[in-house]
Chains A and B, each alone.
Chain A
Amino acid sequence: MPKSLNSSYDQLVEKAQEIFWLKGFKGISVKDLSSELDISQNVLYNKYSKDMLFLDSLNYYTNNYSDPFLKQLRQTTEGLDSLKEFFYTLIDALINKTFPRSCLMVNTVVELRNENTDVVLKYDDYLNTLKDSYIVVLEKAFKLGQFKNKTKINEYADFLLGIIFSLSILYKIHSREELCIYIDEQLTFIQ
């Protein structure tokens, strides 16, 4: 990251993450990326790099989408009902294209797998925060008596962690209503 991290770089990242979200990392060439960002290829090669913009796009996603969203989730008080609300909000973001294409982190997992260590660290971090947030809510759900076996919390959190992946595919072929029923039913497995 350059020392002169100024607002114009921030704006560049904001634009870049939208492009990466739609097209993926490999789906856009340096040439097309620079023209969409309205900067010269030279700048993209010498001052920044496509890799750097991509990593900062993942940071942007974490800071602006997932972190606030998950902080809110951890503060909820209704256990499984709060989880339901959380997933409904996610479904809306997918269907209304507030999330331009699936979840950026899921896309990144599917596209880049373990190819780039820096990227692996980013999505690992994201998945860990996601799982920890689920555990916080599951503990509240347990206290509310919404399920009986406390030792299952970790198993359930893993199960819930899968939902972001399945929703990221299923929203493409199902209606909002079908997806909400899918969530309702998934939550009945926690019992």
Chain B
Amino acid sequence: MRYKEYNRNAILEKAILLFWQKGFNGCSINEIVEATGVNRFSLYHEFGSKEGILYASLELYRERYSKNKFDLLKNTDGEIHKTLMQFYTAFLEDNQPMAGCYFIHVGTELADTDENIRESLNSYLDEILSLIQGLLIRSGIEKNVGFYAKHLLGLFCTVMSFCLIQSPAEYREYVANGINIILSSYAKIVEQ
């Protein structure tokens, strides 16, 4: 069948880039047709709607670009500040379509009005939260793990938008400062 001749993931890669650069509402189905070279009928057949393309593109991003970053948090032998730093800076790297996080970008635009987007943003951030919790526990932090994880996730949300206008050096400094402020409060509690 004709519509199966193209590569689904190749379409979604193009969609990620378009939605990321122009926003979901800033890009028409015609532009997607043009960028992918796949006609409208086939796109709708495969994804159902423009929203369907967006949802599928988020899945691909999570699978293709987030998983390896999430794996950094599963590191078992690194020092915690270093491991966190690696995780936060992984989103800066050139190994994804743009700097930052696609989920935060799409969430900023659409999570108020699209329940599916809200849900997937929530589940994405939840996964990061539990990975950070795991990291904290492995690093010997016993008290208030949920508390520190929550604020390290807050730092993630901050830098994923803030980082877009900072130079990589400023970004690293901001992240390091944030991690220190959050984790040094743990050291103080332990001392007391």
Query: Which A residues are within 8 Å of any B CB, using their own CB?
Result: 23-28, 101-102, 106-107, 109-111, 113-114, 120, 123, 155-156, 158-159, 161-163, 165-166, 168-170, 172-173, 182, 185-186, 188-189, 191
Contact = CB atoms under 8 A, between A and B. Distances in A.
Interface string B159-192: 1111011000000001001100110010010000
Contacts, number: 106
A173 B125 contact: yes
A166 B154 contact: yes
A111 B25 CA distance: 12
Contacts of B109: 24, 27, 107, 110-111
A26 B26 CA distance: 5
Contact of B154 (A24, A161, A186): A186
Given A26-B26, A120-B165, A155-B177, A162 B159 contact: yes
B23 to A, nearest CB: 5
B181 A165 contact: no
A166 B157 contact: yes
Interface of B: 22-27, 100, 104-105, 107-109, 111-112, 118, 121-122, 125, 147, 150-151, 154-155, 157-162, 164-165, 174, 177-178, 181-182, 185, 188
Nearest to A32: B25
A159 B181 contact: yes
Contacts of A26: 22-23, 25-27
Contacts of A111: 23, 108-109
B29 to A, nearest CB: 13
A169 B107 contact: yes
Contacts of A107: 108-109
